Structure 1
């Protein structure tokens, strides 16, 4: 079950298939948004609805990012991998391009990091980005994550095989 989280400007809440039209409009249809991602832009609201239905059925740990001021759903952030044996969670996120460079994703990532350290036994939270998308790395740094290095040709996204930059934060980094 996804707990609703809040910051001064945003609310993080569960996304459902009922959100399909807004999700499609604000990010899943965008080629610009999908450029460095692992999934192609959605061609229809139905494709987005199918994706959201799949997420719901699999009870994934993810949140929609909602602007409090307008109640608009602008992106999402999720635990995309949970390595239980080593107490590590990998975070992925996406934001509609109309909302870039306004600090929303940094707010969301910081809140999710805090939430995971406060409510789970996670020791390490990690994320990675295509090196050609440095804005994503700045979000990670501003959220307290530490750059660990570049893994050469270890990622696959809509640009092909790419180098990825890896960031993490450990529980011990917070004390």
Structure 2
């Protein structure tokens, strides 16, 4: 199975253990974790979360099968500098439905990379995995993440009030969804052409 894709000046590759120091550094920042229900993380906390996912992905790729989880490192194509990470997680009992996730290092904010990462997940879920639905969520105040999903075609489907309790407060959860059937055949074809090896 292919392990790396290029699009919009970024390279999306399945995470390896070698990526963990960069991911840990990013997730140790207060700015990056501001709108997350976790963090800032210690290196140990980040490693204990990501390493089992990475090991599952690498074992599946080694055996020639599709991983259950899809966790990608995002780097600049030309310099290989670390930009962030993004992921697709399967939804229990709903084959073809995935939860999206993405975090970018704060030095790469406001450059369109979040939208590009989300677009890559849409491409991967609907074109590579032949999925039917994507699920996304964000804290109500995180307008940047909300705009990323909306630019990628996601629709606000609901609000869960006081869903997260973090940093001494309660936060509403905005729930977004995107169906493969929401995209025209032309849009799906364009996605397939946007990301190559």
Match of 1:92 in 2: 101
Q: 1:12 to 1:53 in 2, by over 3 A?
A: same
Larger mean CA deviation between 134-143 and 54-63 belongs to: 54-63
Q: 1:105 to 1:47 in 2, by over 3 A?
A: same
TM-fit CA distance, 1:86 = 5.9
The yes-or-no answer on 1:106 pairing with 2:115 is: yes
Matched-pair contact (CA < 8 Å) for 1:87–1:124: yes
Alignment of 1:55-70 (within 5 A): 55-59=53-57, 60-70=69-79
Match of 1:28 in 2: 27
TM-fit CA distance, 1:152 = 1.4
Q: In angstroms, what is the RMSD of aligned CA positions?
A: 2.2
Give deviations 1:84-118, integer Å, cap 9, x for gaps: 43632110111111111110011111122012111
TM-fit CA distance, 1:153 = 1.9
The secondary structure found in structure 2 opposite 1:58 is: helix
TM-fit CA distance, 1:135 = 0.6
The secondary structure found in structure 1 opposite 2:19 is: helix
Q: Which residue of the other structure, out of 126, 149, 153, is the alignment partner of 2:135?
A: 126
Structure 2: gaps of 5 or more residues: 58-68, 185-197
Match of 2:155 in 1: 146
Q: Highest Rg: 1 or 2?
A: 2
TM-fit CA distance, 1:62 = 1.1
Matched-pair contact (CA < 8 Å) for 1:2–1:62: no
TM-fit CA distance, 1:170 = 0.6
Q: 1:51 to 1:149 in 2, by over 3 A?
A: closer
Alignment of 1:48-87 (within 5 A): 48-59=46-57, 60-85=69-94, 87=96
Structure 1 runs of 4+ aligned residues shifted over 6 Å read none
TM-score by length of 1: 0.86
TM-score by length of 2: 0.78
TM-fit CA distance, 1:138 = 0.4
The secondary structure found in structure 1 opposite 2:78 is: coil
Q: 1:154 to 1:51 in 2, by over 3 A?
A: closer
Distance 1:151 1:133 in 2: 15
Structure 1: gaps of 5 or more residues: none
